Structure 1
Amino acid sequence: MEPFDIARGWAVWMLAIGQTLGYACLYYIFAALILSWQADLGWDKASLALGPTLAIVISAVAAPFAGRMVDRGWGPAMLAGGAALGALALVWLSRVGSLQGYLIGWAVIGVAQAACLYEVCFAFLIRRLGPVARVAIIRVTLVAGFASTLAFPAGAWLAEGWGWRGAVMVAAGAMALIGPLNWLAAGMIRRQGLPPVTPDHAADRDGLRLALRRRAFWLLASCFALVSLNHWMIVNFLVPIFVEQGASPARAVLAASLVGPSQVAGRLVLMRYETRIGTGTATLLTVGVSVLATLALGLSGLAPGLIFVFALAQGAALGVLTILRPVMIAEALGQAGYGAIAGVIQIPALLAGAVAPVLGALVLSGPGLWALLVLSLALSLAAFGAIRAMGRL
């Protein structure tokens, strides 16, 4: 079976379902249930937020190890085992009554995130499908883009009927089902596809060491970290920012709700032109769109309707960049040791995403919105500059 056919086949769509449920149960569950946790446990938002923040930090630390395991041929086991670990962590979380127990649960969730979500999935697809992996990654992210759309209403409905503990147990059950699904799908791709693109373990070990010496590695790491910091610094405060720019609360909520669907829309556009535009060009255009989005947000104080332009452009840019990131890494730095390279290159971006809400809150409560907008523009321009520099290497 040809790699291009595999990239469009049932096994990839099965992985897409696994990623959708994985993100809904291990990532978006916090935002979906935070009000229920606060009401029942009596903890403030800052204490509750320590959980997912800890998970992100642990996921960042574990990412290089997870990548190396994929390089050694353990991709299917990581995808299945990570889902099983996530199920156990959610069972634990459903029974906690103390902050310490809550944080332990989230710490284990962080390990599960590193083992079975996007980065391991993408590394496995690149290892097995090589140049056509982008076709498969588009399909995975196209479906997984609806994870938040699934998590929020499902979490609210389950918490209302069964309480938050029942809702978390349902999520644990979903993760338990994802494990066999991931194992089956990854096994199908491994049997049907080509031999590993980089079967030489010595080359895999040397890949990261050589990549760290290259300017392209640091430019990509900087770009992804800058984009992550800029996006989450703004998106976590979208509604109050839109209101301060002159939009009504209802209009602000409507605009903010477009960020998620626009990610899917951006991926559909990329899917339409998946073989007609190079990865480098597409990445440059995508980061350029994020610069224009920031400008639109800054000007929305004069024309409040521009908040919709920001939401659509920012969401589309992030959605497309999620697809292009792993392919850009493979094309720029090679496929030898890709898993370890991608794991290390993601550490700054993950940590940036963890500190972004704190930074945004500090700037908004200090200098104010104008300073946040200036900082956002500076970050997006710096990311664009890093990608431009990549093109000159």
Structure 2
Amino acid sequence: MTRWLAIGALGLTQIVGYGTLYYSFGILAPAIARDFAWPPELAFGALSAALLAGGLAAPLSGRWIDCYGAGRVMTAGSLVAAAALVACAFAPSGTAFLPTLVAMEIASTLVQYSAAFPLLVQRHPQTAQRSIVYLTLIAGFASTIFWPVTTWLHGFLTWRQVYLAFAAMHLAICLPLHALLSRPSRPADTTSDAAPRRDDNPVEGSLPLVVRRKGFALMAIGLALQSFVSSAILVHMLPLLAALGLGVVGVMVGTLYGPAQVLSRFVNMVFGRNLSQLRLAMISAGLLPAAIALLLLAAPSVPGALAFAVLFGMGNGLYSIVSGTLPLVLFGSFGYGTRQGQVMAVRLVVASAAPFAFALLTEHIGVDWALAVTAAFGAGAVVAFAGIARLSRAPARLDVAVVRQESTADSGSAV
């Protein structure tokens, strides 16, 4: 399969994966809560617990991706996702539903970006950076497509039947495409499609070896802080706007947010070819607190709220790109799946806790101060990425010393 066909096929599976395993839950949650006699907030609490479990499972899935190949993991993930959706549909009680929801979110780590990005890196390392940009542009339509599709299906199907229909999509669409993508990228190549091979021209990381441990920590912190800001604001978007006197524009804000994400990815695709990924990370991180600050200063202005939606959507759109390209550029293609799993774990754990933390902040210090604290977290992400830029200027000669130390250690262990 050519690079462009691989991107197109992955784009389709990502739309299905995110649409069925994530975006649909908000629409089906009220019916699920009624069916199990839960208060509405308990359904979203169950989702937070499931997202946390998915985050804890992400490092293991990343190691599997490096060991067995992303295509094979995604193929197995399609089966696991379908089985989890079927189990959700037949759960007889809320107690039985919770572990099936956990299984569904664990399956998402096998079929969503955390696996799709490594697949692109493993198949075509040298062009993976641009391929990730194209993939996120396609997958950005997941919410635009699946919110109305889920609403339409739920108009004449129960939530259980909707989940069965989604399971069928994973078997009919995602499974065969992932199986096709698990094949080697070159017809003449019969070796495993696992970790990148020497003749694949693997990408060498730009960050000096001696500072990579610090650089990874800073990158994980920066992406985690962005995840906190994104999750906290998106979950509380409508009540937040209402508290600021902007409840009437909630629908308009939601309408602008999705297209703004896609717009930012399109602009980056067309004009960002020569922009470093570290600089793009700082721009992405900076847009989120800037949007919050604009909302605080402009509320209850409707134009200000709409501008907030555009800036926040653009920041989140670029964030999806950076989360895939920055680890590749800084650390290279070798071990990329493992690193993605580790970063995804931190992001999902933080994202699962962010809505609850923001609610506590709002209750104890008020909406304005809660937003100010959240914006400060976003600014912290900019500082973390700036720290990586400083590390990247470390003298390259230190790498030689590190290599010599590693060689000496290897020789000693051989003896």
Equivalent in the alignment of 1:84? 79
1:113 Cα deviation from its structure 2 partner: 0.9
C-alpha spacing 1:352/1:191, structure 2 compared with 1 (3 Å): farther
Please tell me whether the aligned partners of residues 32 and 151 of structure 1 are also in contact (alpha carbons under 8 angstroms).
no
Please tell me whether the aligned partners of residues 86 and 167 of structure 2 are also in contact (alpha carbons under 8 angstroms).
yes
From 261, 264, 268, the equivalent of 2:262 is: 264
Across the two proteins, how many residue pairs are aligned to each other?
A: 380
Equivalent in the alignment of 2:180? 184
Deviations 1:65-104 (A, max 9, x none): 2111221242111111101111011111111121121012
Give runs of aligned pairs for residues 151-190 of structure 1, distance below 5 A.
151-177=146-172, 178-187=174-183, 189=185
What are the ranges of 5 or more consecutive residues in structure 1 without an aligned counterpart? none
Equivalent in the alignment of 1:222? 221
Does residue 1:141 correspond to 2:140, yes or no?
no
Structure 2 counterpart of 1:185, which letter? L
For residues 121 and 18 of structure 1, the distance between their equivalents in structure 2, rounded to whole angstroms, comes to 9
What are the ranges of 5 or more consecutive residues in structure 2 without an aligned counterpart? 392-415
Please tell me whether the aligned partners of residues 9 and 177 of structure 2 are also in contact (alpha carbons under 8 angstroms).
yes
For residues 246 and 160 of structure 1, the distance between their equivalents in structure 2, rounded to whole angstroms, comes to 32
1:46 Cα deviation from its structure 2 partner: 3.0
For residues 254 and 300 of structure 1, the distance between their equivalents in structure 2, rounded to whole angstroms, comes to 16
Please tell me whether the aligned partners of residues 87 and 172 of structure 1 are also in contact (alpha carbons under 8 angstroms).
yes
Deviations 1:17-75 (A, max 9, x none): 00110111111121120122123332112321243223212221221121112212421
Equivalent in the alignment of 1:321? 319
TM-score by length of 1: 0.90
From 16, 23, 36, the equivalent of 2:18 is: 23
For residues 210 and 169 of structure 2, the distance between their equivalents in structure 1, rounded to whole angstroms, comes to 38
C-alpha spacing 1:192/1:280, structure 2 compared with 1 (3 Å): farther
Does residue 1:54 correspond to 2:49, yes or no?
yes
Aligned-pair Cα RMSD in Å = 2.4
Q: Secondary structure at the match of 2:183?
A: helix
C-alpha spacing 1:120/1:212, structure 2 compared with 1 (3 Å): farther
Most deviating of 149-158 and 314-323: 149-158
For residues 234 and 42 of structure 2, the distance between their equivalents in structure 1, rounded to whole angstroms, comes to 21
Please tell me whether the aligned partners of residues 254 and 309 of structure 2 are also in contact (alpha carbons under 8 angstroms).
yes
1:186 Cα deviation from its structure 2 partner: 4.2
Please tell me whether the aligned partners of residues 82 and 111 of structure 1 are also in contact (alpha carbons under 8 angstroms).
no
Does residue 1:238 correspond to 2:237, yes or no?
yes
Deviations 1:312-364 (A, max 9, x none): 11111111121122211122123221111121122221111001111121122
Please tell me whether the aligned partners of residues 29 and 151 of structure 1 are also in contact (alpha carbons under 8 angstroms).
yes
C-alpha spacing 1:327/1:309, structure 2 compared with 1 (3 Å): same
Equivalent in the alignment of 1:332? 330
Equivalent in the alignment of 2:145? 150
Please tell me whether the aligned partners of residues 69 and 182 of structure 2 are also in contact (alpha carbons under 8 angstroms).
no
Q: Which has the higher Rg, Structure 1 or Structure 2?
A: 2
Percent of pairs with identical residues: 26
Q: Secondary structure at the match of 1:305?
A: helix
Please tell me whether the aligned partners of residues 291 and 380 of structure 1 are also in contact (alpha carbons under 8 angstroms).
yes
Equivalent in the alignment of 1:63? 58
Deviations 1:269-296 (A, max 9, x none): 1111242222122222222222321211
Equivalent in the alignment of 2:408? none
Q: Secondary structure at the match of 1:366?
A: helix
1:222 Cα deviation from its structure 2 partner: 0.4
Moved over 3 A (4+): 188-200, 210-213
From 267, 286, 296, the equivalent of 1:288 is: 286
